[in-house]
Amino acid sequence: MSAQAIVEKLKGKFSAEILDVVEFRGETTVTVKKEQIVDICTFMRDDFGYNLLCDLCGVDYMGKSPRFMVVYNLYNITTKQRIRIKAPVEELNANIDTVSTVWGTANWHERECWDLMGIKFNNHPDLRRILMPADWEGHPLRKDYPLQGPDREPYKGRLS
């Protein structure tokens, strides 16, 4: 099934949830509202066979509203197809439901996203920091987090 057909079916089932569909370099990105992300992901897995969650990450669009985007890169091992789902998350009380019930692999990816980007995953079984020390303050991948760390001179930008 082509990516367009999948998007059409997704639109048919979750018409109110789809915010945007973008094609770029042959890749399809579907932006959806975050409220029903677990249902959408379950639907993608069960009805379209996207059985592998390759990657999950957060993106910080500081200055825009909503500020964050959680990105799910999905893969179907049978048809070898990819699709990308994105869900915007607002800055205040940044949270989204966990998809670790849909794909077990999301567990660590979501921990990393919480650790580095500060997005909370509701109902996550084990939401601890994963790469930074447990007592670390702040979320280093946020755009307002200084490159050289919190206690140093702020980064002045590249000379060029």
Partner 1 sequence: MAANTNETMTINMGPQHPSTHGVLQLILELDGEIVVKATPHIGFLHRGIEKLSEHRTYHQIIPLTDRLDYLAPMSNNLGYVLAVEKLLGITDEIPERVQRIRVIMTELTRLKSHLVWLACHALDIGAMTVFLYCFRERECITDIYEKVSGARMTSNYFRVGGLADDLPDGLEGEIRTFAESIPAHVEEYEGLLTGNRIWQKRTVGVGEISAEAAIDIGITGPALRASGVDWDLRRDNPYCGYEDYEFEVPVRTGCDTFDRYRVRLDEMLQSAQIILQALDKLKPGPTLADCPKIVLPPKKDVVNNIESLIHHFKIVTAGFEPEPGEIYQSVEAPKGELGYYLISDGSSHPFRMKIRPPSFVNLQGLPQMVEGKLLADVVAVIGTLDIVLGEIDR
Q: Which positions lie near partner 1, rule CB under 8 A?
A: 24-25, 27, 29, 51-55, 57, 59-60, 71, 73, 77, 80, 82, 84, 103-105, 107-109, 116, 129-133, 140-141, 145, 147, 155, 158, 160
Nearer to partner 1, 35 or 123 (CB): 123
The position carrying tokens 């910080």 is 60
Nearer to partner 1, 55 or 91 (CB): 55
Nearest 10 degrees: CA dihedral of 112, 116, 117, 122?
40
Structure tokens of 93? 């009380």
Structure tokens of 26? 């042959």
CB of 133 vs partner 1, minimal distance in Å: 7
CB of 37 vs partner 1, minimal distance in Å: 18
CB of 33 vs partner 1, minimal distance in Å: 19
Nearest 10 degrees: CA dihedral of 98, 102, 108, 112?
-40
Side-chain half-sphere of 9: how many Cα atoms within 13 Å?
11
DSSP 34: S
CB of 51 vs partner 1, minimal distance in Å: 5
